[in-house]
A and B are shown apart, each in its own frame.
Chain A
């Protein structure tokens, strides 16, 4: 119990330390440059307090419950004994497809942590509000989560095979550029943003543990060089999936409209 209280205290302190520079900048500009009282001051302050409490509790819970188990799981799944155990002949050299549980775990953990990512929820709420409901909160979140899932599992495949990271990233850029030309214009800035949004509080620690564990296990990989780069995958692929989501929705809309028009004519 005492342990828990100490944890609560430490994490709250750390969160306050994170928030202070931001609050300092905001209030500094408000009072020195804008020189007007903040509208609904009391409400805003309470909002900040809630954010502070919420973030502290969120981090505390993650660190007590999900992170230790998730990290342990990443270690166990990348353990050579576990991977070799799924094979009939243990002496045979491991092939890239022997790591299938790792890819599956990467996909699942990428998807599920992105759904819980608070900053993505924030951006989805704002996008829904600004687009007048045209962009669904859940549609956007699921599109981004699929992008992260695909990205991270591809990233683990890269660590296993040892293909240089820039091949993937550069071809990803080419796809993004091509999609940009064809995607509905409204979605493009939001899609670019969703790349940066996906990777924060929940995703980064688990994904980093997975990358480092895998780089340690696979022979010939260095943890220092190959352990990094998963985050880059997780921030590139959502750009594609969000644009694809908009492209598919636009296509379906068009088809529906055509159908209703044809029906009206008939």
Chain B
């Protein structure tokens, strides 16, 4: 019992260390630069305690639940030897986790407003919401496709450099042709698709897969799935902006 408390106390201390920089930065700018007191100090302290507890629980759960299940499923699917199911799983994971992503929903709505102001679509609610949901499906589809491509890379042992550099070249070429209004959003969409739950799962999938296929190195082959997932939405969002 005492041991358990000690362990929890120690990981809370770790979370406090993770959080300390934010508290210092906000404190410094509030007191030294803006020279104002902290409003609702009690509320602030409660909030910080919540964040601390939350981070501690999250990391506990990560190592107990998310990592093991991601890896054990990758092992099981690799052992089954069916490339079809592996790819279906990769697509479902990419598409399913992205379509419901709150950050993406927000970005899609903003993109619709930009498109309406730029005169690409009509200035009506209906046009905007259909544009936004079209964009969401496009991004989710592109993330699904990206994870599939990444998994195929692990199976076949392709080198990641050429694929990513090829992707960059495509982004650069498309930047020349895409409507100006969409470029900022397209570039941002790469960053918003990968959420806090998706990242550990996808990482575990890649590492698990690379360690269960002979001749693959978990370090050089296991990582890289997230890179695909953040590159492909840029390409697809620009394409979406060009077509619509």
Contact = CB atoms under 8 A, between A and B. Distances in A.
Interface of A: 4, 14, 17-19, 21-22, 24-26, 29-30, 33-34, 36, 38-40, 43-66, 69-70, 73, 76-77, 82, 101, 105, 108-109, 111-113, 115-116, 118-119, 121-123, 125-127, 130-131, 165-166, 169-170, 173, 176-177, 180, 185-186, 188-190, 192-193, 195-202, 204, 224-232, 234-235
B188 A231 contact: yes
B207 A235 contact: no
Given A166-B183, A224-B114, A196 B62 contact: no
A185 to B, nearest CB: 6
Contacts of B60: 47, 50, 54
B220 A196 contact: no
Contact of A46 (B65, B88, B175, B193): B65
A48 B196 contact: no
Interface of B: 18-19, 21-22, 24-26, 28-30, 33-34, 38-39, 43-69, 72-73, 76-77, 80, 85, 88-89, 92-93, 96-97, 99-103, 110, 113-114, 117, 160-161, 164-165, 168, 171-172, 175, 180-181, 183-185, 187-188, 190-201, 203-204, 207, 218-227, 229-230
B67 A126 contact: yes
A112 B192 CA distance: 19
Contact of B29 (A40, A105, A165, A234): A105
B192 A199 contact: yes
25 contacts: A4-B46, A22-B93, A24-B96, A25-B97, A26-B73, A50-B57, A51-B58, A53-B61, A54-B59, A58-B58, A64-B43, A65-B45, A73-B26, A111-B21, A118-B59, A119-B199, A126-B204, A127-B223, A131-B219, A169-B171, A180-B165, A193-B226, A196-B230, A200-B195, A228-B188
B57 A54 contact: yes
A215 B236 CA distance: 26
Contacts of B38: 69
Contacts of A49: 61, 65
Nearest to B199: A119
A14 B102 contact: yes
Interface centre among B110, B114, B219 (most CB of A within 10 A): B219
A28 B72 CA distance: 14
Q: Which 9 A-B pairs have the closest CB atoms?
A: A47-B65, A65-B47, A50-B61, A58-B54, A61-B50, A54-B57, A47-B64, A54-B58, A57-B54
Nearest to A82: B34
A26 B100 CA distance: 15
Interface centre among A30, A38, A64 (most CB of B within 10 A): A64
Nearest to B49: A61
Interface centre among B103, B114, B199, B220 (most CB of A within 10 A): B199
A87 to B, nearest CB: 15
B54 A64 contact: no
B61 A51 contact: yes
Given A25-B92, A192-B160, A51 B203 contact: no
Contacts of B97: 21-22, 25
A18 to B, nearest CB: 6
Contacts of A109: 22, 25
B182 to A, nearest CB: 10
A30 B22 contact: no
Nearest to B99: A21
A192 B195 contact: no
Given A111-B21, A225-B184, A193 B227 contact: yes
B187 A50 contact: no
Contacts of A58: 50-51, 54-55, 58
A56 B50 CA distance: 9
A229 B184 contact: yes
Contacts of B207: 126, 130
B203 A204 contact: no
Contacts of A43: 64-65, 68
A113 B229 CA distance: 22
Contacts of B51: 57-58, 61-62, 65-66, 116
A88 B99 CA distance: 51
Contacts of B93: 22, 25
Contacts of B183: 165-166
